[in-house]
């Protein structure tokens, strides 16, 4: 049996777990990339192919294809044909994989949500869908977990998802956090909601479903993604950075119900001194979720502070160059993912790095394969959202006053 040791981010203790046997992924350097080659493959539930579309097919009927990748994995897609595929080729809830530049690894995997109805007089036929992370809101969880490592609970959820919606379980993609939860109860919530709650106990973790349809729960990669080094004006045409200081909180009290009473009380105080010295004291309060034990209040609160102790830095990138020649003259492609950080070298100023949060790809007959938009960092609150939040807070206060 293969074993993996030290599966936690701090290495506090040794943990051993069996690894999942799988076919090794090809290394980027040995992939025979070809310019503007793409294919969309549709599958039955048993994994057999029902159709192959794209410019590698004998009769390419695809007009355009757009899809998104985010921190939670594959997002929305829109696939447009000039000839309607039959129901046997591409139907509702059917899985599709997208392959770009002759790569044998899928760049996207999702399922069909909408398709044109047979008999339509339209001459353009649009299919839309989403990645498999979306299906996690269709699985509900009941039960209590006590004295378990966070990742152990996630593995149980992943096994449930494998049985119910056909995800591919891979324990190697669920990494220990180093923290044991005293008690947590899920009373009829979705797996998507459960993962969100569990991530509160994991410092800077990301979760979702990847292009292999495997659920992951892992530390955010903080190193620079070498596929994401961009010089403005050479590799990207547009770079618009921004900072948002509205969300900074560096001192907070945590309130919640004690284990022996239904009365709400203050359970812990958390703060970040370096942030206070830089930006002044920015106070806030947080309510410990009812599914948490009070013994977890301080740890949970520190994770909230860690997220918002600094300004939210973000940027939007456009007109990204994917293809470039290697030193030996061969064709190479940036296969960018949401793992790691981009490094931006602006025309003026110092290099800036940001975590990668969203990628938007577009494929068309006219322009070929394009990475049109990249969002990095947490996008700032718009003024409309800020004002709406103030209005909502005022209305809530008014309602509370009128009920007293």
User: Mean pLDDT lowest for which of 58-72, 97-111, 287-301?
Assistant: 287-301
Tell which wins on pLDDT, 207 or 10: 207
CB atoms < 10 A from the CB of 391, how many?
A: 10
Taking each helix axis as running N to C, give the angle between helix 191-199 and helix 150-165, from 0 to 180 degrees, rounded to the nearest 10: 160
Highest mean pLDDT among 74-83, 260-269, 291-300: 74-83
pLDDT above 70: residue 404 = no
Confidence of residue 5 (pLDDT cuts 50, 70, 90): very low
Among residues of the chain, what percentage have pLDDT more than 90?
Answer: 54
Q: State which CATH number among 3.30.70, 2.40.10, 3.30.360, 2.60.40 fits the domain covering 32-132.
A: 2.40.10
pLDDT in tens, 370-394: 999 999 987 655 444 444 454 544 5
Contact in structure between 126 and 79 (CB atoms under 8 Å): yes
pLDDT above 70: residue 397 = no
Confidence of residue 262 (pLDDT cuts 50, 70, 90): low
What integer pLDDT is reported at residue 15 of this predicted model? Answer: 32
Residues in the chain: 404
User: Which of 79, 94, 78, 91 is CA-nearest to residue 118?
Assistant: 91
Strand partners, 99: 39
What integer pLDDT is reported at residue 186 of this predicted model? Answer: 92
What integer pLDDT is reported at residue 360 of this predicted model? Answer: 96
Q: Which two tokens stand for residue 392?
A: 């909502």
What integer pLDDT is reported at residue 376 of this predicted model? Answer: 93
Round the average pLDDT of the chain to a whole number and report it: 84
pTM summary value:
0.77
pLDDT in tens, 172-206: 999 999 889 888 999 999 999 999 999 988 878 89
pLDDT above 80: residue 28 = no
Burial of 187 (0-12, 13-18, 19+ CB in 10 A): exposed
The architecture that CATH gives domain 139-219 is 3-Layer(bab) Sandwich (3.55)
pLDDT above 70: residue 11 = no
Domain ranges, ordered by start, for the chain:
32-132, 139-219, 224-244+312-377
CB atoms < 10 A from the CB of 255, how many?
A: 16
pLDDT in tens, 117-169: 888 888 899 999 999 999 999 999 999 999 999 999 999 999 999 999 989 99
Phi, psi of 20 (to 5 degrees): -90, 125
pLDDT in tens, 299-323: 888 888 888 898 888 999 998 988 8
């Amino acid at each position: 049996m293969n074993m993996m040791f030290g599966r936690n981010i701090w290495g506090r203790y040794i943990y051993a777990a069996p690894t999942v046997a799988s076919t090794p992924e090809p290394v980027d350097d040995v992939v025979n990339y070809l310019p503007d080659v793409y294919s969309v493959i549709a599958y039955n539930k048993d994994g057999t192919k029902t159709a192959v579309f794209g410019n590698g097919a004998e009769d390419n009927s695809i007009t355009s294809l757009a899809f998104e990748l985010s921190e939670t994995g594959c997002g929305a897609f829109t696939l447009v044909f000039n000839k309607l595929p039959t129901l046997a080729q591409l139907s509702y809830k059917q899985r599709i994989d997208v392959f770009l530049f002759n790569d044998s690894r899928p760049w996207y995997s999702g399922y069909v949500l909408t398709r044109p109805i047979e008999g339509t007089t339209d001459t353009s036929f649009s299919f839309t869908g989403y990645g498999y992370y979306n299906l996690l809101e269709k699985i509900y969880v009941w039960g209590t977990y006590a004295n378990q490592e966070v990742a152990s609970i996630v593995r149980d959820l992943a096994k449930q998802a494998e049985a119910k919606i056909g995800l591919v379980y891979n324990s190697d993609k669920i990494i220990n956090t180093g923290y044991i939860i005293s008690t947590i109860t899920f009373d009829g919530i979705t797996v998507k909601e459960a993962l969100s709650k569990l991530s509160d106990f994991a410092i800077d973790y990301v979760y979702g479903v990847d292009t292999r349809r495997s659920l992951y729960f892992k530390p955010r990669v903080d190193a620079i993604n070498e596929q994401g080094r961009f010089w403005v004006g050479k590799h990207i045409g547009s770079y618009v950075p921004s900072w948002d200081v509205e969300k900074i909180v560096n001192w907070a009290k945590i309130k919640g119900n004690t284990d022996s009473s239904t009365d709400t009380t203050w359970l812990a105080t958390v703060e970040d001194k370096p942030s206070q010295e830089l930006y002044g004291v920015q106070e806030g309060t947080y309510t410990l979720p009812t599914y948490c034990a009070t013994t977890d209040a301080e740890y949970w609160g520190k994770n909230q502070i860690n997220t918002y102790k600094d300004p939210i830095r973000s940027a939007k990138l456009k007109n990204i160059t994917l293809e470039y020649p290697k030193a030996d003259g061969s064709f190479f492609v940036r296969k960018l993912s949401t793992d790691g950080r981009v490094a931006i070298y602006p025309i003026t100023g110092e290099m800036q790095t940001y975590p990668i949060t969203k990628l938007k790809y577009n494929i068309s007959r006219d322009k070929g394969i394009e990475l049109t938009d990249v969002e990095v960092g947490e996008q700032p609150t718009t003024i409309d959202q800020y004002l709406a939040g103030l209005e909502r807070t005022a209305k809530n206060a008014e309602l509370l006053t009128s009920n007293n």
